A and B are shown apart, each in its own frame.
Chain A
Amino acid sequence: MFYREVGQLKTSYQSDQAVFTIAQDRWSFLVLLIVAFGVVPFFINDYFANAVLLPFLIYALAAIGLNILTGYCGQLSLGTGAFLGVGAYAAYKMTTAFPELNFIIVLFVSGAVTAAVGMFFGLPSLRIKGFYLAVATLAAQFFIVWLFYKVPWFFNYNATGQISMPPREVFGILITGPKAQPWATYLFTLSVVLVFAVFAKNLVRCRSGRAWMAIRDMDIAAEIIGIRPLQTKLLAFGISSFYVGVAGALMFAVWLGAAEAGETFGIDQSFLVLFMIIIGGLGSIMGSFLGAGFMVLMPILLKQSMVDGLGLAAVTAKHMEFIIMGVLIVFFLIVEPHGLARLWQIVKEKLRLWPFPH
């Protein structure tokens, strides 16, 4: 009844190709933005920002990055954790070497550094395919983390081997370090993620995005119709790593404030982001957000309901969490292999008729 596009005629090519073709979608997105920017900052507290909102936004950004590579270009990567680390360490080195530098520039430079590293490790992708490539990206994962442990230059020769973020301001507002206000960190992260998400959404609809999908669907056929495989794949690796790198920099600088190579950027992180895009939906920007939300919220809810609700011991709850996590992953794969994004589409289609049967 409320979600109908009757009477909304597309009169130009532009309106036909819009991101939101239906007015209701446009309005709900606008309302969502107004709530996110105008309402949430007034009610946010430290716990909510650091346990829910920041991880959600940052993981969503990382998931968009991995989705560009895996969902759109079809190159399975298990090195996301390490690339997050590259972004984080690049941000750390930049901001400690040039304390006056604007943090936004630091973010972009970390993204660029990660993109370069990602493209380097993407080079074998022309010859190596499928699971062989996935295992090859594991080489990046282990090698990079090892490098961050063994080369003291990366953590500025401090004794702990950890990196920690000094306080930095953007437009006069403190956004990193322990004194930063939750609303400031939240708004900053939200703005960055929004800009990057809109860019990604348009990127995958333009020429390069369609080239990625052609490569994903069948690379030989794509090559025959004139898509250059190496350039296209490398571009996907580069842009994907750029996103992951920015996410890593945000994760370290704005959210965690301190990081340690093996703990924060280990292989678990790679799998976590991979779960997000599979559960959210491969080849969908929306799905990246849904998947990130799901994987961030679920452990919190599980923990609260089991430790506080059922009174289980923390260790047992941890193991139960493992089991439930595994069961949910398998369940989702069986019920809807195309992820939450596909469920969302189905809901929208049903909504067009609701509440009338025909």
Chain B
Amino acid sequence: MEMLFFLETVISGLLTGVMYSLVAIGFVLIFKASGVFNFAQGVLALFAGLTLVGLMETFGLPPWLAIIATIGVMIALAWLIELLILRHLVNQEQIILFMATLGLAYILEGFGDIIWGSDVKVLDIGLPQGASDFLLDGYGLYVERLEVVAAVIATALVIVLAIFFQKTRIGRALRAVADDHQAALSIGISLRTIWITVWSVAGIVALVAGVMWGSKSGIQFSLSLIALKALPVLILGGFTSIPGAIVGGLIIGVGEKVAEVYLGPFVGGAIENWFAYMLALVFLMFRPQGLFGEKIIERV
């Protein structure tokens, strides 16, 4: 029984970790392509979720149509962000760009609340809920169906992204830009198109994250705080690595759950908030660039 409980904890941790990874991947995409540490990723997820629910409730669209429409909104948003913010901040220091995304987070939050209202919304696009009967009856394991679905979708998403980055023309251009902005520009890659593409993809990833978290706990303001959950994942895995984001997410997810269950009672509980950060910090002491980050070479 003890073993079974431990297994449940680990599985639940792994599945939560997948959710963290989903948010972290959005960060990594943007950081890789533009060096922007995008603090607005969590709010992007919130905004996408709000838009989706809003479209379904206000216009009575079926889920699949609403999702397509939301993707359209996210792409338009990426275009606007490039046009209004990023274009004017080319060649600025990283901290300035980081602050700009903080400003963006404020703007999106305000807009989302004004347009769609700030009350908690239930998101139901027909994803399965409750415990998985198969595992519960067969092995006595309690596993949330929704989390399994999230894991499957995340895996699919990662595979699609990998193909997109490795095989397509735009994907190669993206990697070129990530390597060296100037060299990419000089061989005729348009930085604008790349940035719009990256922010659109990040927006779509945010939508997936928003749908998953929203189905779990409703669409509300606290959704934007999952960005804070994703940050330790990010430093653990490295800012520039998608596999890092996934492995980091899994480690953080499991570590957090196990620590909460086995360590939490001794120190008064609610350690979820900071445990992930501490875990990441310990890792960082040994690998300052994260598990899979590019080796930092410093020259004068």
Chain B residues contacting A105 (CB-CB under 8 Å) are none
Stretch at the interface among A2-10, A238-246, A284-292, A314-322: A314-322
Residues A319 and B110 in contact in the complex (CB < 8 Å), given A274-B99, A334-B89: yes
Which B residues, 95 to 128, have Cβ-Cβ distances below 8 Å to chain A?
95-96, 98-100, 102-111, 113-114, 118
Chain A residues contacting B48 (CB-CB under 8 Å) are none
* Min CB–CB distance B35 → chain A (angstroms): 10
Chain A residues contacting B274 (CB-CB under 8 Å) are 139, 142-143, 146
Question: Does B103 lie within 8 Å of A127, measured CB to CB?
Answer: no
Question: Does B114 lie within 8 Å of A131, measured CB to CB?
Answer: no
Residues A150 and B277 in contact in the complex (CB < 8 Å), given A132-B290, A323-B114, A330-B107: no
Can you name 15 extra interface pairs (CB under 8 A) apart from A142-B273, A327-B103? A124-B281, A124-B284, A124-B285, A127-B284, A127-B285, A127-B288, A129-B296, A135-B232, A135-B234, A136-B235, A319-B118, A326-B103, A326-B105, A329-B103, A330-B107
Question: Does B98 lie within 8 Å of A131, measured CB to CB?
Answer: yes
**Cβ of A195 < 8 Å from any Cβ of B?**
no
**Cβ of A257 < 8 Å from any Cβ of B?**
no
**Cβ of B94 < 8 Å from any Cβ of A?**
yes
Question: Does A138 lie within 8 Å of B278, measured CB to CB?
Answer: no
What mask results when residues 39 to 58 of chain A are scored 1 for a CB within 8 Å of chain B, else 0? 00000000000000000000
Chain A residues contacting B289 (CB-CB under 8 Å) are 132
Chain B residues touching A, range? 35 or more
**Cβ of B298 < 8 Å from any Cβ of A?**
yes
**Cβ of A218 < 8 Å from any Cβ of B?**
yes
Residues A330 and B288 in contact in the complex (CB < 8 Å), given A131-B37, A150-B267, A218-B300: no
Question: Does A220 lie within 8 Å of B102, measured CB to CB?
Answer: no
**C-alpha spacing A328/B285, complex, angstroms:** 37
- With most chain B CB atoms within 10 A of its CB, the pick from A142, A149, A316, A326 is A326
* Min CB–CB distance A284 → chain B (angstroms): 15
Question: Does B96 lie within 8 Å of A337, measured CB to CB?
Answer: yes
Residues A132 and B288 in contact in the complex (CB < 8 Å), given A326-B105, A334-B85: yes
Question: Does B281 lie within 8 Å of A129, measured CB to CB?
Answer: no
When C-beta atoms are compared, the residue in chain A nearest to B113 turns out to be A319
What mask results when residues 248 to 289 of chain A are scored 1 for a CB within 8 Å of chain B, else 0? 000000000000000000010001001100100010000000
* Contact count A vs B, C-beta below 8 Å: 135
Which B residues, 261 to 300, have Cβ-Cβ distances below 8 Å to chain A?
267-271, 273-274, 277-278, 280-281, 284-285, 288-290, 296, 298-300
**Cβ of A76 < 8 Å from any Cβ of B?**
yes
When C-beta atoms are compared, the residue in chain A nearest to B267 turns out to be A150
Chain B residues contacting A132 (CB-CB under 8 Å) are 235, 239, 284, 288-290
Question: Does A76 lie within 8 Å of B95, measured CB to CB?
Answer: yes
Question: Does B239 lie within 8 Å of A131, measured CB to CB?
Answer: yes
Question: Does B284 lie within 8 Å of A326, measured CB to CB?
Answer: no
Question: Does A143 lie within 8 Å of B110, measured CB to CB?
Answer: no
**C-alpha spacing A143/B278, complex, angstroms:** 8
**Cβ of B92 < 8 Å from any Cβ of A?**
yes
What does DSSP make chain B's interface, helix, strand, loop or mixed? helix
Chain A residues contacting B169 (CB-CB under 8 Å) are none
**C-alpha spacing A221/B299, complex, angstroms:** 9
Residues A135 and B103 in contact in the complex (CB < 8 Å), given A129-B288, A319-B113: no
**C-alpha spacing A274/B95, complex, angstroms:** 11
**C-alpha spacing A320/B228, complex, angstroms:** 24
**C-alpha spacing A131/B296, complex, angstroms:** 13
Question: Does A146 lie within 8 Å of B232, measured CB to CB?
Answer: no
Question: Does A333 lie within 8 Å of B99, measured CB to CB?
Answer: yes
Chain B residues contacting A320 (CB-CB under 8 Å) are 110, 114
When C-beta atoms are compared, the residue in chain A nearest to B101 turns out to be A330
In-complex Cβ contact of A322 among B99, B100, B109 (8 A): B109
* Min CB–CB distance B240 → chain A (angstroms): 11
Top 7 nearest A-B pairs (CB, nearest first) are: A326-B106, A329-B103, A322-B110, A139-B277, A323-B110, A326-B107, A142-B274
**Cβ of A97 < 8 Å from any Cβ of B?**
no
Which A residues, 106 to 146, have Cβ-Cβ distances below 8 Å to chain B?
124, 127-132, 135-136, 138-139, 142-143, 145-146
**C-alpha spacing A316/B111, complex, angstroms:** 10
- With most chain A CB atoms within 10 A of its CB, the pick from B93, B103, B113, B288 is B103
Question: Does B228 lie within 8 Å of A138, measured CB to CB?
Answer: yes
**Cβ of A325 < 8 Å from any Cβ of B?**
yes
**Cβ of B88 < 8 Å from any Cβ of A?**
yes
**C-alpha spacing A220/B296, complex, angstroms:** 13
Chain A residues contacting B284 (CB-CB under 8 Å) are 124, 127-128, 132, 136
Show 5 residue pairs from A and B whose CB-CB distance is below 8 angstroms, ordered by the A residue.
Answer: A138-B277, A142-B277, A319-B114, A330-B100, A333-B96
Residues A146 and B270 in contact in the complex (CB < 8 Å), given A76-B95, A132-B235, A330-B104: yes
In-complex Cβ contact of B106 among A131, A138, A221, A325 (8 A): A325
Chain A residues contacting B25 (CB-CB under 8 Å) are none
Question: Does B102 lie within 8 Å of A146, measured CB to CB?
Answer: no
**C-alpha spacing A91/B45, complex, angstroms:** 40
**Cβ of A224 < 8 Å from any Cβ of B?**
yes
Chain B residues contacting A322 (CB-CB under 8 Å) are 106-107, 109-110, 113
Residues A135 and B231 in contact in the complex (CB < 8 Å), given A124-B285, A146-B273: yes
**C-alpha spacing A320/B112, complex, angstroms:** 11
In-complex Cβ contact of B288 among A128, A142, A218, A326 (8 A): A128
